[in-house]
Amino acid sequence: MTQPTTSNPTDFIRDIIDDDLRTNKHEGRVATRFPPEPNGYIHIGHAKSVCLNFGIAQQYQGTCNLRMDDTDPLGESMEFVESIIHDVRWLGFDWADRLFYASDYFERLYSFAVELIRSGDAYVCSLTPDEIREHRGSFTEPGRESPYRNRSVEENLDLFSRMRAGEFADGAHVLRAKIDMASANIVMRDPIIYRIKREPHYRTGTDWVIYPMYDFAHCLSDALEGITHSICTLEFENNRPLYDWFVEKLIPGPRPKQIEFARLNLSYTVLSKRRLIELVKNHFVQGWDDPRMPTVTGMRRRGYTPEAIRNFCAQIGVAKNDNLIDISLLEHCVREDLNAHAPRALCVLHPLRVVIDNYPEDLVEEIECPNHPQDPDMGTRKLPFSRELYIEQDDFLEDPPKKYHRLGPGREVRLRNAYVIRYESMVKDEKTGQVIELHCSYDPGTRNAPPADGRKVQGVIHWVSARHAVPAEVRLYDRLFRIEDPGSEEDYTKHLNRESLEILSSCYAESSLGTTEPGLKYQFERLGYFCADPDTAPGKPVFNRIVPLRDSWAKAAGGRKG
């Protein structure tokens, strides 16, 4: 198994930084940033970027800013800002006092735009959005110049200030950089810098009716903050010349270097914010924190740990080529972390009543058992044992095959941490024929000890004391999508897995779980890892299955339990 990375990782981005440090490019400074747009909750792909940017800052004793890239008022909100702050902190990172908002730069960005107009590098264009698109050309054809391209500086300044003053309707004019309509790179064909958008902004209210475009705001925000390495995903590769163009024109000095890496794609889920918003809005899931969502908040609710997510991000590394990472790698990291840290507990999902006929009726034994088989520091707990128990329905078969090491007519099995019991008889529902109760006998000499006569009992099953057990709800989750790469499908919702949530409402958990609290995680022996959900009420725990014990999707893994 891969161990968590303790040494510093290496990759092409860190190679670039090492080179820059060697040549003293930024006087030895390393400054990165994580720039989410607060128009949704962050997901595991963002977590990759968070780990990369903050991880580099830690490694090089540099800084990493958290910057809300909030230049498009549509869909942005304080709720999302707060969620991002909470999630990045939860992932284990700290930005000290360097929380910034691109919207705080609106006034300066406006001045930068005016500067471009003054130097003849920007003009107000009054073509319609459709006409602008037509003039842009294509990969094979150069663009055509706008008839407004040669407006005078005075006219541009006048129109731009009137755009700001709110004299024009949305789409009537835009401000464009005057670069090169024949450029082979379409991004450089007089890109739009500002557009009119009469939309209130969650921070600046109605102060502005014009908003800067991402390509303009992002690079200048980086430069204003003294960012040295501006790490983004591959789709911005073609925008890099524009990034450099704006910064060179407007902010002299050492320029932040844009470096692109491959975004994370994860199998059986989608990692586009637009699609996640659709899943939430159309109620395909129950919210951003639905435990099936690839969001950080969903994963937290599900019971994933920040350590597991960080370890996953370290293991996938950063590369230049797009690829699809198998979600089972993430689950493996989660399992590995929980195996080391989650206390063990017993819980029966599909209860079958068992009466131990030869056990005294009012006797209750408190069996002290370890919370973790390898970690004595995790302490012990007392497990009550009494005459009536619950075991799993599928731990009994009326007519079991030879290799079935659980209960059946004539068979014995060990109860975890307790006694060996032997099957005596069963009670069936008269109508359905279903087995509803077992009668067994126990061997008093086998409490945590092998049978005295040396006979072998192979199977061990979990159980709870019926009188002491706490009724619990358990929610089982499966892949959100039925196909590996739903992100590549236009009609991706068609591939949603309608059986991704199964609610078991009549489970029984061992008595110690009656006082569990949301967020606490356990290994339910033989079943997997579970996390108490915020829906937990006093005495009525609700658990989410985080991951099964084994990867049930890996075909070679065989049966669920032995």
Q: Which of 185, 272, 386, 552 binds ligand ATP (CB under 6 A)?
A: 272
Tell whether residue 233 is a contact of ligand ATP (CB under 6 A).
yes
37 counts as binding ligand ATP under rule CB under 6 A: yes
Assess whether 398 carries a catalytic annotation: no
Cα–Cα distances (Å) from 240 to 147, 188, 204, 280, in that order, read 27, 10, 29, 33
- At 537, list the tokens: 């009420």
CA angle 254–259–262, rounded 5-degree value:
170
Q: How far is the CB of 230 from ligand ATP (least distance, A)?
A: 9
Q: Name the pairing type of β-strands 521-524 and 344-345.
A: parallel
46 lies in the binding site for ligand ATP (CB under 6 A)? yes
The reply to whether 526 sits near ligand ATP by the rule CB under 6 A is no
Asked if 126 is part of the footprint of ligand ATP (rule: CB under 6 A), the reply reads: no
Interior angle at CA 157, CA 156 and CA 161, nearest 5 = 115
| Nearer to ligand ATP among residue 80 and residue 110 (C-beta) | 80
Q: Strand locations in 52-169, DSSP E?
A: 63-68, 99-101, 122-125
Q: Which stretch binds ligand ATP (CB under 6 A): 114-122, 265-273, 470-478, 528-536?
A: 265-273
Closest distance to ligand ATP from the beta carbon of 37 (Å): 4
Q: Residue from 271, 296, 314, 413 that binds ligand ATP (CB under 6 A)?
A: 271
- Shortest distance in whole angstroms from residue 290 CB to ligand ATP: 17
Element (H, E) at 194: strand 192-196
DSSP state string for 226-288: T-SEEEEEGGGGGGHHHHHHHHHHHS-SSPPEEEEEPPEEETTS---HHHHHHHHHTTSSSST
Catalytic residue among 98, 136, 149, 263: 263
Name, in order, each residue with C-beta under 8 angstroms of 451's C-beta and a sequence gap of 6 or more: 420, 443, 445, 457
Known catalytic membership, residue 235: no
Strand partners, 306: none
Binding to ligand ATP by residue 315, rule CB under 6 A? no
Q: Does 264 bind ligand ATP (CB under 6 A)?
A: yes
Under the criterion CB under 6 A, does residue 273 sit at the interface with ligand ATP?
yes
274 binds ligand ATP (CB under 6 A): yes
Phi, psi at residue 284, to the nearest 5°? -70, -25
Which lies closer to ligand ATP via its Cβ, residue 304 or residue 359? 304
Among 26, 29, 48, 189, binds ligand ATP (CB under 6 A): 48
CB of 86 to ligand ATP, least distance (A): 15
Q: What share of the chain is helix, strand, coil (3-state, %, to 5)?
A: 30, 25, 45
Q: Is 49 in the site for ligand ATP (CB under 6 A)?
A: yes
Q: Which residue has the tokens 């049966």?
A: 559
Among 35, 191, 212, 291, binds ligand ATP (CB under 6 A): 35
To the query of whether residue 273 is one of the catalytic residues in this protein, the response is yes
Q: Tell me the helices (H) and strands (E) count for the chain, helix number first.
A: 12, 27
**In the complex, which residue's CB is closest to ligand ATP?**
45
Q: Of the ranges 45-53, 325-333, 380-388, 523-531, which one interacts with ligand ATP (CB under 6 A)?
A: 45-53
- Report the residue number, 239 or 516, with the smaller CB distance to ligand ATP: 239
Residue listed under structure tokens 């689950």: 331
488, 272 Cβ separation under 8 angstroms: no
Query: Which residue among the candidates 25, 37, 155, 422 is catalytic per the annotation?
Result: 37
H or E segment to which residue 370 belongs: strand 365-370
316 touches ligand ATP (CB under 6 A): no
Give the binding site for ligand ATP (CB under 6 A).
35-37, 45-46, 48-49, 69, 232-233, 263-264, 271-274
